[in-house]
Chain A
Amino acid sequence: MSLLGGEGFSLPLVSETEVVDVILNFSDSAKLALVESMNGDEESHVLVISAQSGGCSGYLYEMKIVEDPKDENFQRIDVSGIGVLVHNKDSALLSGINVDFKDTMMGGGFQISNPNADKSCGCGQSFG
């Protein structure tokens, strides 16, 4: 028997998930950029916006176009006919975010501002 072996070694899982109804605010330029990014795949693909630990301020935003996972743990919001998904576990962190798109040579692309964040990183990709 090793330290982690033996009978009765079943341990309680630590999980904390506060689930709220997600509200996302997309600017007109972000909506246009999203439609362009989808490139006609909006029937089969969705945009997933998520948060994960890391970055200078504690959490990092992530945006990914993926095949629709058809998973009931995601909340779906329709933005200009495109499915935008936020996982329930990220709902409390991401509800209320503003998504904008800036077409500039440096620092351009999708930008997220989060009114619920106490702090954010200089690069704008991390919040806490």
Chain B
Amino acid sequence: MDSISFHRNDCISLISGADKIKILDRSVSNSLVSFNNKEFKKALFCNTAGRIDDFALICPIDDKILMISSDEFCTETRSKLVEGIGWNEEFELRDAVAAISRFTVILSQSKALSIFGINEIKDNAMEEFGDMIILVTKIEGLVMLDILCQKGSTDTLLSLFERSDINLIDEQKWNLIRVKLGIIDIEDARGNLPWEIGLDKLITRGKGCYPGQEIHARMDSRGNKNKTLVRVISDKKIDVGKLRVDGFGTINITSSFSENELCYSLGICKDMPTGKIELSLDGSILNIESIPIS
């Protein structure tokens, strides 16, 4: 696969104040009380039914926290935090959208090491690159780097991409690539339980109450993981929504994008064994593959 970069449109917030970790921690499903050195965490904001409302990257930088959440639910997520500040707590949330850019880069491990000077590819590591910050995530055989830079440094980064044969792609191409690689976005996650899309690793059992905790505890104790995230490849266009397949069941398609007469989709279906199956639907071929939950 060619190396690619995509300029994301996200909700970027800068959080400060003595109680910032405490307030963030009680609002999300996983524990944020301690961070290892140069580590960022992913976090889920859930509703009272335990379903995902938003997800965020939480990056401790200096004595502040940079939080990156979905653009679509920016106001909702920020309100949850700001409205929940206790009268005697110190917490300030500032809008950093106009100041900081996020580029997602997908490339080989060797290229990541040579271009960005990263010593070791380590999941959830936060690396400094000049005045930029790089968040490292391992994906199957490749590396995903989320590069955070000041708006003023955008041109410097773009010329580095150009010199390094990293193609800047548009949103349509990005969506196609992320679906092919099984990278979920907010449209796949929102409204689903963390188990259904492989995000249950972002639940910390025993951290105490947070929105959705009662439901998560009940599901955990009953061992109910009965849905699977799947990738569907079809030679016919598939729309987002319910897809009924004879002999298989219903797949709730959450993302769907086409390229060269093939349609690539992500969806959620009843538990299926690991691997691929091939089925037919109205004369077209469907390849359904479960996406391993790491």
- Nearest residue (CB) in B for A15 is B82
Taking the closest CB of chain B, its distance from the CB of A18, in whole angstroms, is 9
Q: Given the interface contacts A11-B94, A53-B85, does A16 sit within 8 Å of B79 by beta carbon?
A: yes
Q: Are B93 and A2 in contact (CB under 8 A)?
A: no
Chain B neighbourhood of A28, CB < 8 A = none
Q: Which of A1-52 contact B (CB under 8 A)?
A: 1-6, 9, 11-16, 48, 50-52
Which residue, of B62, B66, B98, B211, has the highest number of chain A Cβ atoms within 10 A?
A: B211
When distances are taken between beta carbons in the complex, the residues of chain A under 8 Å from B155 are: none
Cβ of B148 < 8 Å from any Cβ of A? yes
* A12 x B95 contact (CB < 8 A): yes
Instruction: Please tell me the number of chain B residues within 8 Å of chain A, measured between CB atoms.
Output: 42
Q: Is the CB of B211 within 8 A of A3?
A: no
How far apart are the CA atoms of A122 and B93 in the complex, in Å?
A: 31
The answer, among B48, B81, B96, B150, for a CB contact under 8 Å with A53, is B81
B183 in contact (CB, < 8 A)? no
Q: Are A4 and B87 in contact (CB under 8 A)?
A: no
Cβ–Cβ < 8 Å partners of A1 in chain B:
131
Decide if A50 touches B87 in the complex (CB within 8 Å).
yes
Given A4-B61, A89-B85, A122-B214, CB of A53 within 8 Å of CB of B26: yes
Please give, as numbers and ranges, the residues of chain B lying within 8 Å of A55 by CB-CB distance: 26, 209-211
Name the interface size band of chain A: 35 or more
Report if A3-B131 is in contact (Cβ < 8 Å); known contacts: A16-B79, A54-B27, A56-B210.
Answer: yes
B26, B48, B86, B210: the one contacting A50 at CB < 8 Å is B86
Q: Which residues of B contact A15 (CB under 8 A)?
A: 82, 93
Contact of A12 among B83, B94, B210 (CB under 8 A): B94
The chain B residue with its CB closest to the CB of A119 is B48
| Chain A residues positioned under 8 Å from B150 (CB to CB) | 3, 6, 9
A55 to B27, CA, bound (A): 8
B214 and A11 contacting across the interface, CB-CB below 8 Å: no
Asked if B23 CB lies within 8 Å of chain A CBs, one says: yes
Flag if B64 contacts A16 (CB, 8 Å): no
Name the A residues within 8 Å of B82 (CB-CB): 14-16
Given contacts A3-B132, A13-B93, A14-B94, contact A56 B48 (CB under 8 A): yes
> Do the beta carbons of B13 and A52 come within 8 Å of each other?
no
B21-48 interface (Cβ within 8 A of A): 23, 26-27, 48
Residue from A5, A50, A119 within 8 A of B131 (CB atoms): A5
The docked-state distance in angstroms from the alpha carbon of A5 to that of B98 is: 14
> Are B96 and A11 interface neighbours, CB within 8 A?
yes
- Min CB gap A39→B, angstroms: 22
- A16 x B62 contact (CB < 8 A): no
* Chain A residues in 8 Å Cβ range of B85: 52-53, 89
A-B contact pairs, 5 of them (CB 8 A): A3-B66, A9-B99, A53-B84, A60-B209, A62-B86
B interface residues with partner A (beta carbon < 8 Å): 13-14, 23, 26-27, 48, 61-62, 64, 66, 78-87, 89, 92-96, 98-100, 131-133, 148-150, 152, 209-214
Known: A3-B149, A11-B96, A51-B84. 19 other contacts (CB 8 A): A2-B131, A3-B131, A3-B132, A3-B148, A6-B150, A13-B92, A14-B93, A14-B94, A48-B87, A52-B23, A53-B84, A55-B26, A55-B211, A56-B210, A56-B212, A56-B214, A62-B86, A73-B87, A119-B48
Q: Which 6 A-B pairs have the closest CB atoms?
A: A53-B84, A54-B26, A11-B94, A87-B87, A52-B86, A56-B214
